[in-house]
Chain A
């Protein structure tokens, strides 16, 4: 239901006419696109503004960490090991004597890249397969679902070790390559969930009257999938994606823990959290700060996702 005119015609929700009329008044008689409509709506939501500001802050941190701290995140002073927060080091020091504040700031880059890239790739693979399987059904659905089942069954640890160690040339891999491989292995092993969600949403959407109507009107397959089914299946996937983002940043920690993920000199929140494992009881601050940043970031993405979804959904107005 991307086309506002069709949408109003089908759902006949009275408030939509009102909104459309309002907009029409401001902008002359040319009806605005859904996107600009959504944008107009978004700008006035405090939820959106707060989450966007948070995300911008995190992005800023990951692009220019030096704006926030002048301490080298890879400089460790073992004598200060596990010291608590102080004026000199706001977040204190970890087990190795690294400055936690500096590492938290610098850690945002790898975490965000891994989280966002892995989520995008997972959603991309999963949605494509899910939509196709859901739309066409039959043997294609069967085949794709079974492939998904097989991938789903692969233990994450097994798949990740095999993928990461076979694509990694003996030891000398640049941080960029490692990040890429981490993203790739997370996505390859996670897409089936997204596919199942998309597939079920697509199956449900296929039965809807407006899809039948569109088909009856002779709309092409791609148009039906992209313009009618996709927007309606987007909500559950968006919910999954925003939460998966947080989970993927954590999954990266698991990989590092196994010795196949990110490693020094790259810093990430996941690595910090996994490093804190053995000292949680004596130095809880080494867990608290990266975990708090991770939570806040994921929260921001979830709220943003919520706001965008509501703005895009004409029914929810």
Chain B
């Protein structure tokens, strides 16, 4: 089976709203004794470190955790069939001995022996199959259910509500409890059959919804939620709501990526800004997202001299036109707006250069990316923008919108001003107070302004940036864009015999986006992070988390 090499991957849709979230509660200063300075540099194998965390959105169950706050914890507690290389993002076997397929449709997965859950029970094939069936079944309402949609029999366990959640009707009872595509062969082998060949399927297996669950989960879910039992490098110790989640090293860990320190505390902060001051002051050891106050003017490089880093990740920022609103029906107008945005200047002035201006709809870090797919349409060119505007005949006010609680105001305003100055038309930024309300408006197709969209890849493939976003009726096609020609090309690409041929077709599809311009690509993301003087080798993984295998704590 082919395993394309890739740079970064993430299932964590980064809700920026989280950065201002966080609640009350208590915390003890465990693990951080402030700024010790003058350390010898020798590492302490029993050291403790604290990392920035946000309160998990849901109880700590792998299949129900797709946001970053809970994911950090889940990924420390569990190890899946595969794991991703912290630097290259390459998918490597972890619990899996081997994953075999001949037709990319039926996969035979063999497990390594010796893996145990924290409660001492062995990790068997059954634990994977049961966990996957649990997550996929719609009555369980797990967030990660859709990750199993390619598995045969998914439709039997996961039924859709015929009139949406808002409607009076309820989703029908599923006809089956288990997906027919999952079969336990013996204690250490199971077989996965997909609906159709899907070559990138094994790449997904390192994600949270694919983690195994111990038998104790199925006998007592409440007890599990209170004290999650995983099979990963860390064991659950305690949790204080809105204050901290404490883990300790699992000394019986069977993987070869054993951590080099002992206690891991996720400290939950009231705000990202507060966490930033804590890391500068030495009260926190690792912060994965430096807030705008630190980014502005590059201040963090002075505040955290010699202990900060920056790394690109597989996400981009885009502006989506509501296709259902006739205001933006004219393609020339959409192109004019894209041409009128001075991406480089906004990146330099607002983000202090920490974003990479986009030249297409696909992040450069994913395999299949082709350079310059957007053509000149993503390069600032006021003259050409005016020509397109004149062609479109648009006279009116352009409106931008997004949630006010996510810290998007500065770049939205700057983008608006760029358009205003280049085209001489009015542009207004009209925020919506909360993320929930914004999301609801988008889901209900009630947006009457161009809105912010961002995408962080689930797995490293150009396919992930096209199928889920631009196909007619795709789950994240928020603008209701539809072009049968694109659908047809994407369909051909999906069933292409090789990844290379598929990628060529996907790229062809991307060029259709340059013709229709349903979405304006803005820039690709990078993450800034910082650490305390007590740590050595701290770095961010391709999943935007602290690399737990590499970091060491200095001896006092």
Query: Hey, which bits of chain A sit against chain B, CB under 8 A?
Result: 75-79, 81-82, 95-97, 161, 165, 170-171, 257-260, 263-265, 275, 277-283
Cβ of B405 and Cβ of A78 under 8 Å apart? no
Q: Is the interface of B mostly helix, strand, loop or mixed?
A: helix
> For the complex, what is the distance from the CA of A257 to the CA of B405, rounded to whole Å?
9
Query: Hey, which bits of chain B sit against chain A, CB under 8 A?
Result: 291-293, 296-297, 299, 342, 345-346, 349-350, 399, 401, 403-405, 409-410, 413-414, 416-418, 420-421, 428-434, 437, 446, 448-449
Contacts of B418 in A (CB 8 A): 78
With beta carbons under 8 angstroms apart, the residue of A78, A171, A263 that contacts B448 is A171
13 more CB-based (< 8 A) A-B contacts, given A257-B404, A264-B428, A278-B291: A78-B346, A81-B349, A81-B350, A161-B434, A165-B437, A170-B448, A258-B404, A260-B433, A263-B431, A278-B296, A278-B410, A280-B293, A281-B297
For the complex formed, measure the closest distance between the CB of B387 and the CB atoms of chain A, giving whole angstroms.
23
Cβ of A78 and Cβ of B432 under 8 Å apart? no
For the complex formed, measure the closest distance between the CB of B23 and the CB atoms of chain A, giving whole angstroms.
14
For the complex formed, measure the closest distance between the CB of A248 and the CB atoms of chain B, giving whole angstroms.
20
Contacts of B346 in A (CB 8 A): 78
For the complex formed, measure the closest distance between the CB of A175 and the CB atoms of chain B, giving whole angstroms.
11
Cβ of A75 and Cβ of B293 under 8 Å apart? no
Contacts of A279 in B (CB 8 A): 296-297
Give 16 CB contacts A-B under 8 Å.
A76-B417, A76-B420, A79-B345, A95-B349, A95-B350, A96-B413, A96-B414, A161-B434, A171-B399, A258-B404, A259-B404, A259-B405, A259-B432, A260-B404, A263-B430, A281-B293
Cβ of A78 and Cβ of B428 under 8 Å apart? no
With beta carbons under 8 angstroms apart, the residue of B297, B410, B437 that contacts A96 is B410
Contacts of A275 in B (CB 8 A): 409
Cβ of B433 and Cβ of A161 under 8 Å apart? yes
For the complex formed, measure the closest distance between the CB of B325 and the CB atoms of chain A, giving whole angstroms.
12
Indicate whether A171 sits within 8 Å of B430 (C-beta atoms), given known contacts A78-B342, A278-B293: yes
Indicate whether A258 sits within 8 Å of B433 (C-beta atoms), given known contacts A170-B448, A171-B449, A281-B299: yes
Contacts of A280 in B (CB 8 A): 293
Cβ of A97 and Cβ of B429 under 8 Å apart? no
For the complex formed, measure the closest distance between the CB of A268 and the CB atoms of chain B, giving whole angstroms.
15
Contacts of A277 in B (CB 8 A): 293
Chain B residue at smallest Cβ distance from A79: B345
For the complex formed, measure the closest distance between the CB of B114 and the CB atoms of chain A, giving whole angstroms.
51
User: Of A75, A96, A161, which is in contact with the most chain B CB atoms at under 10 Å from its CB?
Assistant: A96
Contacts of B349 in A (CB 8 A): 78-79, 81-82, 95, 97
Cβ of A165 and Cβ of B429 under 8 Å apart? no
> For the complex, what is the distance from the CA of A242 to the CA of B296, rounded to whole Å?
36
For the complex formed, measure the closest distance between the CB of B308 and the CB atoms of chain A, giving whole angstroms.
16
Cβ of A165 and Cβ of B433 under 8 Å apart? yes
Chain B residue at smallest Cβ distance from A279: B296
Cβ of A264 and Cβ of B429 under 8 Å apart? yes
For the complex formed, measure the closest distance between the CB of B265 and the CB atoms of chain A, giving whole angstroms.
28
User: Of A75, A76, A82, which is in contact with the most chain B CB atoms at under 10 Å from its CB?
Assistant: A76
Q: 4 shortest A-B CB distances, which residue pairs?
A: A259-B404, A282-B297, A259-B431, A76-B417
Cβ of A259 and Cβ of B345 under 8 Å apart? no
For the complex formed, measure the closest distance between the CB of A170 and the CB atoms of chain B, giving whole angstroms.
7
Cβ of B293 and Cβ of A259 under 8 Å apart? no
For the complex formed, measure the closest distance between the CB of B443 and the CB atoms of chain A, giving whole angstroms.
15
Chain B residue at smallest Cβ distance from A265: B428
Cβ of B297 and Cβ of A82 under 8 Å apart? yes
> For the complex, what is the distance from the CA of A277 to the CA of B296, rounded to whole Å?
10
Contacts of B432 in A (CB 8 A): 259
> For the complex, what is the distance from the CA of A81 to the CA of B350, rounded to whole Å?
9
Chain A residue at smallest Cβ distance from B404: A259
Contacts of A79 in B (CB 8 A): 345, 349
For the complex formed, measure the closest distance between the CB of A282 and the CB atoms of chain B, giving whole angstroms.
3
Contacts of B342 in A (CB 8 A): 78
> For the complex, what is the distance from the CA of A280 to the CA of B294, rounded to whole Å?
10
Chain A residue at smallest Cβ distance from B403: A259
For the complex formed, measure the closest distance between the CB of B428 and the CB atoms of chain A, giving whole angstroms.
6
For the complex formed, measure the closest distance between the CB of A166 and the CB atoms of chain B, giving whole angstroms.
12
> For the complex, what is the distance from the CA of A82 to the CA of B296, rounded to whole Å?
10
> For the complex, what is the distance from the CA of A82 to the CA of B297, rounded to whole Å?
9
Contacts of A81 in B (CB 8 A): 349-350
Contacts of B448 in A (CB 8 A): 170-171
User: Of B342, B410, B433, which is in contact with the most chain A CB atoms at under 10 Å from its CB?
Assistant: B433
With beta carbons under 8 angstroms apart, the residue of B401, B421, B437 that contacts A76 is B421
Contacts of B404 in A (CB 8 A): 257-260
User: Of A78, A96, A264, which is in contact with the most chain B CB atoms at under 10 Å from its CB?
Assistant: A78
Contacts of A171 in B (CB 8 A): 399, 401, 430, 448-449
> For the complex, what is the distance from the CA of A259 to the CA of B410, rounded to whole Å?
13
Contacts of A77 in B (CB 8 A): 421
> For the complex, what is the distance from the CA of A281 to the CA of B297, rounded to whole Å?
9
For the complex formed, measure the closest distance between the CB of B299 and the CB atoms of chain A, giving whole angstroms.
6
Chain A residue at smallest Cβ distance from B302: A281
Contacts of B399 in A (CB 8 A): 171
> For the complex, what is the distance from the CA of A187 to the CA of B293, rounded to whole Å?
32
For the complex formed, measure the closest distance between the CB of B380 and the CB atoms of chain A, giving whole angstroms.
11
> For the complex, what is the distance from the CA of A277 to the CA of B293, rounded to whole Å?
8
> For the complex, what is the distance from the CA of A77 to the CA of B416, rounded to whole Å?
12
Cβ of A170 and Cβ of B293 under 8 Å apart? no
User: Of A75, A79, A171, which is in contact with the most chain B CB atoms at under 10 Å from its CB?
Assistant: A171
With beta carbons under 8 angstroms apart, the residue of A78, A82, A259, A265 that contacts B414 is A78
For the complex formed, measure the closest distance between the CB of B142 and the CB atoms of chain A, giving whole angstroms.
31
Contacts of A82 in B (CB 8 A): 297, 349
User: Of B291, B292, B429, B431, which is in contact with the most chain A CB atoms at under 10 Å from its CB?
Assistant: B431
Contacts of A264 in B (CB 8 A): 413, 416, 428-429
For the complex formed, measure the closest distance between the CB of B422 and the CB atoms of chain A, giving whole angstroms.
11
Chain A residue at smallest Cβ distance from B349: A81
Indicate whether A78 sits within 8 Å of B296 (C-beta atoms), given known contacts A170-B448, A171-B430, A263-B431: no
Chain B residue at smallest Cβ distance from A160: B433
For the complex formed, measure the closest distance between the CB of A277 and the CB atoms of chain B, giving whole angstroms.
8
Contacts of B430 in A (CB 8 A): 171, 263
Contacts of A165 in B (CB 8 A): 433, 437
Contacts of B437 in A (CB 8 A): 165
User: Of A170, A278, A283, which is in contact with the most chain B CB atoms at under 10 Å from its CB?
Assistant: A278
For the complex formed, measure the closest distance between the CB of B105 and the CB atoms of chain A, giving whole angstroms.
48
> For the complex, what is the distance from the CA of A196 to the CA of B291, rounded to whole Å?
41
For the complex formed, measure the closest distance between the CB of B358 and the CB atoms of chain A, giving whole angstroms.
18
User: Of B299, B349, B446, which is in contact with the most chain A CB atoms at under 10 Å from its CB?
Assistant: B349
> For the complex, what is the distance from the CA of A95 to the CA of B434, rounded to whole Å?
24
Contacts of B297 in A (CB 8 A): 82, 279, 281-283
Indicate whether A259 sits within 8 Å of B433 (C-beta atoms), given known contacts A95-B350, A170-B448: yes
Cβ of B433 and Cβ of A78 under 8 Å apart? no
> For the complex, what is the distance from the CA of A82 to the CA of B410, rounded to whole Å?
13
Contacts of A265 in B (CB 8 A): 428
Chain A residue at smallest Cβ distance from B410: A95
> For the complex, what is the distance from the CA of A227 to the CA of B64, rounded to whole Å?
68
> For the complex, what is the distance from the CA of A279 to the CA of B351, rounded to whole Å?
12
